[in-house]
Amino acid sequence: MTDNYVFGWHAVEAVLKREPDRLQQVWIQTGRQDKRVKSITDSLDELGVRWSVVHRKELDERVAGVHQGVVAAVSESREWSEDDLLAHMASPGVTPFLLILDGVTDPHNLGACMRTADAVGVQAVVVPKDKSASLTPVARKVACGAAETVPLVRVTNLARFLRSLQDAGVWLIGTAGEAAGTLYEADFRGPVALVMGAEGKGMRRLTREHCDLLVKIPMLGHVDSLNVSVATGVCLYEALRQRLA
């Protein structure tokens, strides 16, 4: 297996639509003859990308996960650098809206966070280079194409990058169970970055210290925390609600 595979219909279609030059070869499970398959194979023929129909066993051997009958070999996507993101933020008419994940190591959670980030209009997802999940085929599959639309920025020193964001006028709102105020008391309408901690442990100390504001999600039941991707969805949609208003 290799990290240079994308699988699942949404993920493959996203590459085909947005970064077709990355496609190297596509394999489709035998028995699929619907309009969706024909649309994709017609596009691949126009691009001159090789594709073939194979038995499911061959797809199972290429990737681990529910491939839905389609696997694509792709070249590496170009991740944004810190400078790329800062330059984008400085562009005319851009009001920064970022998601920062401090130590999220589960690729399923990263993919789910990327999918929600795309849905609410987040401009980039920032993660530390160390102790963080990368865009594996599983993460891309869970993201349902969002990994091809939302830039992932991997930074060497997260605390230093947070200071750069603050210098650029971005308000950093972090989540912590012990925070005094709730999510619904925070103001997400301006240049803002939502900072989410790792599964279980939450944010690291230095990350927490760099936040301008800490908030919590109200929890009224017996469970005292949410999965990080669920919590991220709750927070991002409150941010979107305010930004739309």
Where does residue 65 fall: left (phi above 0), alpha (psi -120 to 50 degrees), or beta otherwise?
left
Kindly state the tokens that stand for 190: 């301006």
217 is in an annotated binding site: yes
Write the DSSP string, 170-218.
Answer: PEEEEE-TT-SEEGGGS--SSSEEEEE-BTTTBS-HHHHHH-SEEEE--
Of 115, 102, 90, 105, the residue nearest 176 (C-alpha): 102
Residues with Cβ within 8 Å of 34's Cβ and at least 6 positions away in sequence, in order, are none
Report the length, in residues, of the chain: 245
* 226 marked ligand binding residue: yes
197 is in an annotated binding site: yes
- Asked if 200 and 228 count as a contact pair (C-beta separation under 8 A), the reply is no
Binding residues: 197, 217, 226
Binding residues for S-adenosyl-L-methionine: 197, 217, 226
